[in-house]
Amino acid sequence: MGEQITEDLYEKTALPPGLRVSASSITGTRPYQEDCLMYQALEDGVLGVVCDGMGGLSHGEVSSACAVDQLSVYFAREPREADSMERYLKNALQNLDIQVAELKNASGRPLKGGTTIVTVFIRGDRMTYASAGDSMIYLIRRGECRELVRMHNYRLLLSERLEEHWITPEEYEAELGRGEALVSYLGMDGLKLIDCSQIRLEEGDRILLCSDGLYKGLTREQIGQIVEQVPEEEFEQTALILIQAILGGPPRSLDNISILCFAYGRKVEGTKMQEPEKKKRKRKRRSLF
């Protein structure tokens, strides 16, 4: 049933004291993996990202890998200020949108790929986050699991139009069959819909980024309950435990599932960090063909 679970998805980097990470991914019953994730300790904070290449478009796995790699490049190249991180992340996603749209195949023709993205940048007790598509960021805090971003799909547009009385309830129901179609993703070459904001973290917070395969297999309440029930000393197993909860259910078709979860504590530093030990990346590079 595609139970190839990968835990070491990217190079290990030293995180600041008080911040821990758990990451895991599974192919599911799909023939190949189109998700891509990364976390990285930088001098001024910690970057995390999950991308889900779109299976309906060609080479979704190439699009997601491009977005993750180029986000890391953007953070290494572009200067940033702590008080302008929302603008910085929006600019980053607009830049990635163009780069994914410009991907070409061996014949020099446009690849026409696409990928969703959810990303966070944690600096001290401030977390800035951004999203395009239907991947999700959850905040688990004091028994509540809350969605920080919206699913950028046709259902969202229909709901807004219904609320503003642009369409009737009958028109809403007639169009709902296409509700899951994405209306925002990297590769559109004109990204307009981005969710981006900043929150102050509290001790004990869990921040979870995932592709849609997770919430298709577990409800938001189940996700929150499982994360909170993981013992503190076993936090690094959180992502794997969530995936095993899905695998333990009735046999069914499973999408790719990728999970990146951070645990925030009181001792997180927001300035210079210890230089991470350099290790070889374990994530396999994907060919265009």
Please give the radius of gyration of the chain, using alpha carbons only, rounded to the nearest integer: 19
| DSSP codes of every residue in 109-166 | -B----EEEEEEEEETTEEEEEEESS-EEEEEETTEEEE-S---BHHHHHHHHHHTTS
pTM of the model: 0.86
Query: What is the pLDDT at residue 181?
Result: 86
The interaxial angle of helices 60-77 and 85-101, nearest 10 deg, is: 140
Of the candidates 205, 198, 199, 200, the one whose C-alpha atom is nearest the C-alpha of residue 264 is: 205
CA distance 18 to 1: 37
CA distance 65 to 34: 8
The interaxial angle of helices 238-247 and 220-229, nearest 10 deg, is: 130
Query: What is the pLDDT at residue 56?
Result: 62
pLDDT tens digit sequence for 19-52: 999 999 998 888 888 999 999 999 999 999 999 9
Q: 47 near 119, Cβ under 8 Å?
A: yes
Low-confidence stretches of the chain (pLDDT < 70) are: 1-13, 55-58, 266-289
Query: What is the pLDDT at residue 14?
Result: 76
Q: What is the CATH number of domain 5-149+185-264?
A: 3.60.40.10
